């Protein structure tokens, strides 16, 4: 390569296809893959969830189990390992059945609420990841910790392991994928960390503690997943969720890098999960995927010429679900169909099913996370709706661009950085609105429907989007620049 390769550890609560609740899983998988393909040595640390045991061949790592302290108690923790097809990184799995052998990753599916012991689960995960790194004798040049679940890695390395020669050359990057999720727990949880009382102020957050706040203060460098989001999270509580002051304090250490797309997983030409492959030169084949989607949804074939609108989302406030419901009754008066895929808060799931009941011939709802359906909706729909209140980066709009499915998005975070509003001169890749108001959302949808009726303009718009390159190779090179920057700063 001519340039020194790096030893990189990615500590993450999710990694596709082993464990997924959202886009972080795709990012963990694709970034580690791209870094490996650039010649760097990458290892991923992930909890051994029930879903991992069911979907992967898990082997013993050769490292003996150990005891990890949690306040006054101690738990035995093991380390397993697996590999992913076509992926250069080893995935090490922190094994503690008491904490991770559960049907869902973060929430109790019966109550819809977060597991009450999530503090202990991820204290153990972070502490065990560092201990097992020592046992593996893999000295990382960089550890990238993802979100609040891995943020304690930063806290431990700068306190408990501050004088450990094994980690003396390790730089810490904390990735902020979503400031709305901070790992906030009662003050009593601090005692479980095993840290000195002097560290409490780094965690203190409105009479509670925040794992993410501590990670932000302890990390060497901070990264978030779009340039616009990096600005937004410092600007107001709407985006910073109470951490905007802390982030302004670390302003010089905060960088935005757009997520990429793994085009081996998300390409209409690969035909993965979709019945008919296509590209810009065979765009007419896209309609065959729409036919299959209609069959799965039970839509009448005489509606095939109607525009199909798609939504794939976690059903939470941040994703603009309220705005979708406000606008839906109005846009469903038009000749179009709506297909929605997602899971989330019970109230939103109920509202979606009620919408389906009111419009059974033109609305289909799938309350699930399903890769095959996600690909089919992406390929089979004409328009994709993403009215997010806040969107750090967003991946689905990037997938849709490559599939010739035109996104309608609100100008926030990564949506503002990746979708260009379509103009009369034929430039642009989608339809963008700014204010969080249903009338603005509806105006953007109407502009999209107007363009859809002009087949020449529509095909131009589709091909504009399909020509965009958001590959992980490009994104990974920017991450490597950031890794090298933090190492250079530390050596000064």
Quick one: pLDDT at residue 208?
Answer: 98
Residue 386 clears pLDDT 50, i.e. is over it:
yes
Average confidence (pLDDT) over 341-349: 94
Please tell me the CATH code under which domain 280-470 is placed.
3.40.50.2000
Contact 7, 35 (CB under 8 A): no
β-pairing, 406-410 vs 383-386, is: parallel
C-alpha to C-alpha distance for 392 and 180, rounded to whole angstroms: 10
Query: According to the per-residue pLDDT averaged within each range, which of 52-61, 145-154, 312-321 is highest?
Result: 145-154
Of residues 139, 134, 136, 16, the one with CA closest to residue 86: 16
Supply the pLDDT for residue 121. Answer: 99
pLDDT value of residue 271: 82
Write out the DSSP string of 64-114.
PPEEEEETTEEEEEEEEEEE-TT--SEEEEEE-HHHH-SSSSSB-TTT-SB
Give which of 135, 165, 167, 144 is closest to 68, Cα–Cα. Answer: 135
Same fold, 7-260+473-491 and 280-470: yes
pLDDT tens profile 448-490: 999 999 999 999 999 999 999 999 999 999 999 999 999 887 7
Cα(479)–Cα(476) distance, rounded to whole angstroms? 5
Tokens of 430: 């989608």
Mind listing the pLDDT tens digit for each residue in 197-214? Answer: 999 999 999 999 999 999
SS3 call for 363: strand
Q: Is the pLDDT of residue 405 over 70?
A: yes
Show the DSSP H helices in 109-210 as ranges: 118-136, 147-157, 200-203
Query: Per residue in 116-129, pLDDT tens?
Result: 999 999 999 999 99
Decide if pLDDT at 3 tops 80: no
Task: Tell me the domain boundaries of the chain.
Answer: 7-260+473-491, 280-470
* pLDDT at 21 (0 to 100): 87
What are the tens digits of pLDDT across the range 254-273?
999 999 998 988 999 988 89
| pLDDT given at position 489 | 78
- Provide the mean pLDDT of the chain: 96
pLDDT on residue 1: 41
Model confidence at 12: pLDDT above 70 = yes
pLDDT above 90 as % of the chain? 92
pLDDT at 111 over 90: no
Assess whether pLDDT exceeds 70 at residue 135.
Answer: yes
The span from the CA of 169 to the CA of 341, in Å, is: 45
Q: If pLDDT is split at 50, 70 and 90, which confidence band does 300 have?
A: very high
The pLDDT value recorded for residue 444 is 99
- Polymer length in residues for the chain: 492
Cβ atoms of 182 and 213 within 8 Å: the answer is yes
Right CATH number for 7-260+473-491 from 3.40.50.360, 3.40.50.9100, 3.40.50.2000, 3.30.1220.10? 3.40.50.2000
Greatest distance between any 2 Cα atoms in the chain = 70
How far, in Å, are 78, 379, 424, 482 from residue 216 at the CA level? 29, 38, 44, 16
Instruction: Strand 406-410: give its sheet, edge to edge.
Output: 363-366, 337-341, 308-312, 383-386, 406-410, 431-433
């Amino acid at each position: 390569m001519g340039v020194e390769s790096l030893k990189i550890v990615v500590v993450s609560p999710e990694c596709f296809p082993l464990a997924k609740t959202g886009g972080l899983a795709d990012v963990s998988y694709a970034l580690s893959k791209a870094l490996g393909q650039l010649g760097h040595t990458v290892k991923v640390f992930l909890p051994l969830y029930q879903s991992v045991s069911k979907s992967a061949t898990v082997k013993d790592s050769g490292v003996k189990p150990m005891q990890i302290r949690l306040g006054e108690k101690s738990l035995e923790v093991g380390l397993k390992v697996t590999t992913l097809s076509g992926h250069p990184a080893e995935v090490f799995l922190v094994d503690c059945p008491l904490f991770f052998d559960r049907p869902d990753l973060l929430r109790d599916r019966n109550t819809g609420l977060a597991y009450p012991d999530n503090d202990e689960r991820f204290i153990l995960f972070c502490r065990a990841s560092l201990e097992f790194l020592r046992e593996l004798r893999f000295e990382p040049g960089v550890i990238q910790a993802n979100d609040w679940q891995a943020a304690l890695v930063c806290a431990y390395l700068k306190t408990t392991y501050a004088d450990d020669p094994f980690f003396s050359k390790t730089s810490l990057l904390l990735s902020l994928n979503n400031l709305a999720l901070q790992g906030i727990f009662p003050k009593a949880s601090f005692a479980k960390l095993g840290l000195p009382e002097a560290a409490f102020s780094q965690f203190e957050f409105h009479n509670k503690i925040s794992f993410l706040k501590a990670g932000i203060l302890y990390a060497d460098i901070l990264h978030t997943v779009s340039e616009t989001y990096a600005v937004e999270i410092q600007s107001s509580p709407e985006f910073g969720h109470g951490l905007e002051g802390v982030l302004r304090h670390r302003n010089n250490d905060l960088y935005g890098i757009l997520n990429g797309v793994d085009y081996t997983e998300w390409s209409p030409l690969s035909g993965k999960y979709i019945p008919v492959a296509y590209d810009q030169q065979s765009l007419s084949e896209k309609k065959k995927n729409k036919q299959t989607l209609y069959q799965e949804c039970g839509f009448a074939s005489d509606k095939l010429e109607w525009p199909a609108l798609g939504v794939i989302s976690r059903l939470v406030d941040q994703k603009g679900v309220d705005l979708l419901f406000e606008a839906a009754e109005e846009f469903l008066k038009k000749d179009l169909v709506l297909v929605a895929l997602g899971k989330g808060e019970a109230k939103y799931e109920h509202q979606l099913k009620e919408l389906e009941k009111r419009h059974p011939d033109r609305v289909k709802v799938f309350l699930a996370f399903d890769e095959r359906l996600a690909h089919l909706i992406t390929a089979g729909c004409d328009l994709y709706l993403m009215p997010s209140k806040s969107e750090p980066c967003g991946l689905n709009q990037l997938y849709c661009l490559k599939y010739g499915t035109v996104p309608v998005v609100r100008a926030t975070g990564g949506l503002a950085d990746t979708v260009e509003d379509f103009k009369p001169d034929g430039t642009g890749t989608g339809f963008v609105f700014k204010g969080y108001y249903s009338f603005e959302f509806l105006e953007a949808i109407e502009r999209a429907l107007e363009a859809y009726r002009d087949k020449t303009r529509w095909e131009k718009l589709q091909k504009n989007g399909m020509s965009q390159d958001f590959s992980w190779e490009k994104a990974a090179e920017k991450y490597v620049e950031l890794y090298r920057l933090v190492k250079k700063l530390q050596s000064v």
